């Protein structure tokens, strides 16, 4: 079992977190409780949810499970999120004190707990002054409604600004960032990871299997079908089949993962998860399993230690490829000239 600190805090969580976006949607209550049972039987203690997951139903399902299993509830570290609309009114969205106050109280009620261990801002809100959001979060910590707070889907300057304002005002500081991060999606390494490391924040990667692509379930030039996310919706956002199928880099990464998995006698998912779990600043990797079989396979990654050669191969084939200034070759050349005293 690999235990890690939740960012710079003293709270300890397992290196793999159970994500619950499917609860109440792709998994009914019985199936969801089975996933929770299996995860805690394995030794996990970290649950991630959000108020908008199944319009609050995910939190309710978790709350009923916690109530029925007091010994597990005592060990559970609960993370949820607020920001997106849970109603149709103009104040039913955002990171204002008004909306977050209602959202937090509603999450506490649905989960049936007195305190949420990690309360995360689900995305940046350009309309609300960051000072207002941070003061609310500091007040919530003082009131005992939350233990810590973090962010999700923030970029580098969001993090840097929030941390400096919190420091300047003596507010509690953020402990984690939850970004999309996998072998297929590594652009956060260009600036966001550095911002988190500078602030001492831990990373909680979501979609570490690239929406299922890194499990080997999708084939080149073969439109997905059946009970998979892209089989049900081939045009699904940044994971769309056509968009990724057209990228040679994607298939080079998948090929490398598959070859390492075959050589080690493990699943492709385990290889991809093991790589993500060892990246700098990563606290816990969020698993989005839909079935007990998927969860069992994913948790097998905890027993897999990639060799230095395997890690290097995966890192090289999946390296971010920014095209131009300031992160591509032009930007790199310019920075080197500056450091050498050139112009």
* Cα distance between residue 35 and residue 30, in whole Å: 9
Is 325 a residue of the active site?
Answer: no
* Two tokens, residue 5: 């600190």
Query: What's the DSSP call for residue 219?
Result: B
CB 169 within 8 A of CB 134: yes
Long-range contacts, 51-54 (Cβ 8 Å, 24+): 51/80, 51/81, 51/82, 51/84, 51/86, 51/103, 51/106, 51/107, 51/110, 52/81, 52/84, 52/85, 52/86, 52/122, 53/20, 53/21, 53/23, 53/24, 53/25, 54/23, 54/24, 54/25
Given 3, 16, 39, 53, which residue is catalytic? 53
Distance CA 155, CA 201 (A): 13
* Contact between residue 222 and residue 215 where contact means Cβ atoms under 8 Å apart: no
Which of 196, 185, 61, 174 has the alpha carbon at shortest distance from 121?
174
Task: List residues with catalytic annotation.
Answer: 53
């Amino acid at each position: 079992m690999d235990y890690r600190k939740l960012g710079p805090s003293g709270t300890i969580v397992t290196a793999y977190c159970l994500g619950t976006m499917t609860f109440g949607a792709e998994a009914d209550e019985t199936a969801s409780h089975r996933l929770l049972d299996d995860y805690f039987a394995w030794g996990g203690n970290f649950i991630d949810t959000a108020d908008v997951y199944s319009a609050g139903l995910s939190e309710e399902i978790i709350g009923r499970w916690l109530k029925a299993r007091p010994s597990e509830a005592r060990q559970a570290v609960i993370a949820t999120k607020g920001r997106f609309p849970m109603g149709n009114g103009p104040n039913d969205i955002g990171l204002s004190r008004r909306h977050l106050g209602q959202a937090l109280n509603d999450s506490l009620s649905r989960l049936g707990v007195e305190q949420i261990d990690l309360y995360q801002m689900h995305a940046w809100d350009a309309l609300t002054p960051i000072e207002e959001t941070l003061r609310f979060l500091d007040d919530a910590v003082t009131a005992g409604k939350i233990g810590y707070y973090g962010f999700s889907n923030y970029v580098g300057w969001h993090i840097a600004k929030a941390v400096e304002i919190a420091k300047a005002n003596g507010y509690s500081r953020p402990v984690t960032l939850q970004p999309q991060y996998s072998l297929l999606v590594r652009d956060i390494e260009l600036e966001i990871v550095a911002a988190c490391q500078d602030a001492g924040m831990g990373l909680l990667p979501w979609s570490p299997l690239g929406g299922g692509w890194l499990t080997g379930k999708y084939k080149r030039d073969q439109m997905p079908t059946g009970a998979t996310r892209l089989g049900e919706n081939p045009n699904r956002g940044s994971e769309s089949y056509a968009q990724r199928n057209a990228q040679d880099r994607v298939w080079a990464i998948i090929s490398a993962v598959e070859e390492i998995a075959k050589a080690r006698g493990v699943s492709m998912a385990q290889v991809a998860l093991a790589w993500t779990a060892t990246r700098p600043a990563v606290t816990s990797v969020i698993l989005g399993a839909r079935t007990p079989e998927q969860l069992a396979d994913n948790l097998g990654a905890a027993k897999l230690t990639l060799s230095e050669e395997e890690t290097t191969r995966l890192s090289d084939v999946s390296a971010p490829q920014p095209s131009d200034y300031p992160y591509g070759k032009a930007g790199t050349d310019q920075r080197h000239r500056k450091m050498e005293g050139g112009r």
